[in-house]
Amino acid sequence: MQFFRCQICGDVFIGNAAPSNCPYCGGKAKYLVPVEQWTDENLTVTELSEISRKNLEKALQLEVDNTPFYRSASAKAGTMKLQGVFKGLAKVENEHASVIQKILKCEFPPPNPVNSTATGDDSENLRIAHEREIEASRFYAQSSVQATEARVKKVFLALSEVEADHIRLERELMQA
């Protein structure tokens, strides 16, 4: 058994080989390092620029809203497949919220009830999720460019890549 730790979320994966993506935050394999090589990159962030703080706060709210949205979509799903997909996505978005919260060193804001409740229609939930992931991926890519702190740049880029994976997944599901 080997121990791999994610440079984005800090969680540890135990297995025979590194997975293709972090099972917690969805970060790509390039972010998974042997535990002894892991460094706490959040320590490099001593002061946040105004733009990074603003973008991180917006991102945190987005993830805090998406988590219960996916949970509720999972609870209402009409198929076992979508129940599992939405459950998995809820976990990942919850992890994204804690990645961001650790940089901001703040409390979790309460979810916005309007954005955090799914409809009773699987196709509609997939459509809403797909739109949100497109917006999130675009916003994170832009926030990565705007960030002056190396850590914030890296985290936003990694999250943008994960949301892009979700966009592809949801597009496939919508076409199925």
Residue given tokens 């916005």 in the structure block: 112
Q: Is 60 in the site for Fe ion (CB under 5 A)?
A: no
Please, what is the minimum distance in Å from the beta carbon of residue 159 to Fe ion?
Answer: 6
User: How many whole angstroms separate alpha carbon 8 and alpha carbon 95?
Assistant: 10
Q: For residue 1, what are the contacts with CB-CB under 8 A and spacing of at least 6?
A: 14, 15, 16
Q: Is 27 in the site for Fe ion (CB under 5 A)?
A: yes
For Fe ion (CB under 5 A), the number of binding residues is: 9
Q: Is 25 in the site for Fe ion (CB under 5 A)?
A: yes
Point out which span in 19-27, 39-47, 73-81, 113-121 binds Fe ion (CB under 5 A): 19-27
Question: Quick one: which of 6, 48, 64, 85 contacts Fe ion (CB under 5 A)?
Answer: 6
Q: Is 32 in the site for Fe ion (CB under 5 A)?
A: no
Q: Is 129 in the site for Fe ion (CB under 5 A)?
A: no
User: How many whole angstroms separate alpha carbon 171 and alpha carbon 176?
Assistant: 9
Please, what is the minimum distance in Å from the beta carbon of residue 64 to Fe ion?
Answer: 10
Q: Is 96 in the site for Fe ion (CB under 5 A)?
A: yes
Q: Is 9 in the site for Fe ion (CB under 5 A)?
A: yes
Element (H, E) at 101: helix 80-104
Please, what is the minimum distance in Å from the beta carbon of residue 8 to Fe ion?
Answer: 5
Element (H, E) at 3: strand 2-6
Burial 137-169 (b: 16+ CB within 10 A, else e): bebbbebbeebebebbbbbbbbbbbbbbebbeb
Question: Quick one: which of 4, 13, 22, 139 contacts Fe ion (CB under 5 A)?
Answer: 22
Residues forming contacts to Fe ion in the complex (CB under 5 A) are: 6, 8-9, 22, 24-25, 27, 93, 96
